Structure formats: structure tokens, C-alpha cells
Amino acid sequence: MSKVTVLKFGGTSVGTIEKIKEISLYLKSRTQSDEKLIVVVSAMGKTTDSLLGQAAEITSNPDVRELDTLLAVGEQNTISLMAINLNHIGVAARSLTGMQAGIKTFGKHTKSKIADINSDFLLEQLDEFDVLVIAGFQGFNENQEITTLGRGGSDTSAVALASAIGAPCEIYTDVTGVFGTDPRLYPDAKQLRQVSYEEMLELSALGAGVLETRCVEIAKNYHVPIYIAKTLSETKGTWIMENTDLLEKKVVTGVALDKNILHVTLTCEDCSSNFVEELFNQLDEEGVNIDMISQVVFDRMINISFTCKKTDEHFLNTVINNLSNGFPTIKKHIRDNCSKVSIVGSGMRDVSGVAARAFRLLCKHNITFYQVTTSEISISYAIDEDLSEEAVRLLCSEFNI
């Protein structure tokens, strides 16, 4: 078979019919070089927000199964239009929903995860068609119900499809690549030509909005090289690859900011250790992803702090209310005006003093942090939201990001 590549185009890239036509011409030029393409697309522009708005006009708490069925409409609209145009300009193309493409999922509605992909079917389709246009962000579960993958789901779909058929993955968006931090916060931020899977994984998990964490995890686990670039631009993008393949390693690669967090502190007096076990079991059952975990135990008082996404607040409150029944002394303190600022770099393994420089810098500028956690290649601070952007700029300047 010809070379196969997976390409993904985000919502702004396919936001109008004219943009879909321009991308179609680009895809045609790729197929003329004896290349087969799997093209994963998002919903056009603000379609998903519009669909959510329609549901909100009915209820603030829609049934999640029906919400998945509604949200899947956006990507199906895009795949149909693009396949229609590709065939119109002479490219043999077929559109496929997540279910038609054999993307099997598991887990909760609106935040499902990919379990398996029918790669044999896709390869058979590529024998007949030059381009398969597949709806990102969606799949189907064991009950044959439409499911969606949550934030960044189309990126996850693309990388999972690439891993299933052993192909590279190109992700096209409205930015030229991965920067050391958001240029809107720090205009002097430099674009990275290469970044390791683990660095990108940390940056994504810690708030950088370029790629969703699950997408990078799949790429790392299955050695899928990812290229991120601006749609239909000649500007070179960023390669995400194995750490051993990097030509240059920086001590600090990037600074991430996540304003979409809650800082949660739970205190339970006269509690046994099964309080912590029960807490994490229920958080897992509700699908609440938590980060920056720290725990202090004094006699029979347990104090545990962590962060989670603001979008999980409803699920978090469900857990806390449930726990209150079995642990009546539990007290909660939730900061919703808090942000997480993180510095990331694989070079931190081999260079000492990075943490000391960061602590001195924040203290010098009177930026208080409520919690600090570290990994082998990152340091994260929970700080007041109104000081977070200043912290990003200071850290970027300090580490030449």
C-alpha cells in the first residue's frame, strides 16, 4: 500500500466552507504524490458551544447519554461536507463517524476513553479510497451508544488512529507549533522545534492548551511521532518525539498556566486511613482527575489537598456529599480563584538549583503559593489567579523561555 498519514484539523481550521475547500485542495495535492490519508476533523468553529447552548436552554443538567448524541452532530457535519467537496474535486473520499470507523470506547459519557480501533477495516477502506474523513471526538461503547471523548478528543482520536495503523500523525491548528509558554501571556516566548513526549505530557497535564494529555500518552506509549503546525502555512512546526531523538535539551523547556482549577483542602478529624481510600475510590468512580496531591496526618486528623478541573466541580461536590454521610467530621475548603503555574524541562534531571531559583523569584515578588508539588521534570505552584500571569512572565524571563 502507499504511504499512509493521519492528519487532524481543528475547529477553526474547518470553520467555514471556504476553509474546507482550501484544505481539500491541499489534501488532493498530497494524494497526487501517492499518499493515502486519514483525515480527522473537529466540529466547525463554535458548533460545539452552540450545541451545548441549545441543551442549556432546556436544562442545566442534561442527561449525559443524550448530550453525547447531540455533541457528535458537530463532527458529522464537518466530515460530510469535506467528503462531498473532496469527491467533487476528483478525490476518492469517504466520511466515517466514530462508530463507522470502529472506534470502541469505555467509561462515562462525555469523557469516554478509547478501548480499541478496527484497523483492519480502515486499511481495507484505504484500498478503495484515497482519503477517509473521520469524525474526531467520538466513538461507541459496548451498548452501541454514541460516546464523546471530552476536551481535546479529536487530537486523541487522531493519535489513536495513527497508532492503530502504524502511521505518523500531523495535527494542524491555528498556531505555528508548540511555544515555551502562551505567547499571549509572554510575547517573547520562543517556538520549540522539538519537544519530548514526557515534556509535552507534563506541559499538557499542567495546563498548556496545545494538546490533550491522553493524546500525548497514546503517542508516547505507541511511539507515534506528532507534528504540530499551522493549517496551510509554510512555517515549520514542532515535532514531538522520543527524548533520545532530541538534538537539543533545555534545562527548562516551558512554563504552563492552568486557570481552570479548583484547589481543594479536606480535613477529617478522628478519621481512620480508610477515609483516604474511600475519597480516591469515589473520585475515580465519578471520573474526577486530580493533581497536586499532598497529605498531612497528625494523630487521627487527616488533612489532604489536591487540585482538579473546575469543570469537575459537580462531580467533586457529589463525592464530598457522599463522604459526609460516613465521615461527619469532614470539612472542606475550596479555592475557585486559584491557578496552577508549572515549569517543565527534562534537563532538570541533571541540573541542580532550578527549584531554588524559582522559589527565590516568586518570594522576591511577593507571590504566595498555597501548595507545591514536583516530579522528576516539573515543579508546580498553586497561586492566586490574579497573580498567575505575572508569575508566568517572571519565570519565562528567568529561564529564557
Residue positions in the annotated binding site for ATP?
Answer: 8-11, 173-174, 184
Phi, psi of 383 (to 5 degrees): -135, 170
User: What is the spatial distance between Cα 61 and Cα 119, in angstroms, rounded to a whole number?
Assistant: 36
Q: Pick out the residues of the known binding site for substrate.
A: 48, 75
Q: Tell whether the torsion through CA atoms of 78, 82, 83 and 84 is positive or negative.
A: positive
Q: What's the gap between Cα 163 and its chain centre?
A: 17
User: What is the spatial distance between Cα 78 and Cα 100, in angstroms, rounded to a whole number?
Assistant: 15
**Nearest partner of 156 among 107, 196, 208, 216, judged by Cα:** 216
Q: How many CB atoms lie within 10 A of CB 132?
A: 25
Three-state secondary structure call for residue 165: helix
| DSSP summary character for residue 190 | P
**Close Cβ partners of 309 (under 8 Å, ≥ 6 residues apart):** 260, 261, 262, 289
292 sits in the region (left: phi over 0; alpha: psi -120 to 50; else beta) called: left
* Runs of H (alpha helix) within 130-273: 153-165, 197-205, 213-222
For cell 491541499, the residue is 26
Q: Pick out the residues of the known binding site.
A: 8-11, 48, 75, 173-174, 184
| DSSP summary character for residue 279 | H
User: What is the spatial distance between Cα 41 and Cα 275, in angstroms, rounded to a whole number?
Assistant: 44
For cell 478541573, the residue is 309
User: What is the spatial distance between Cα 368 and Cα 382, in angstroms, rounded to a whole number?
Assistant: 9
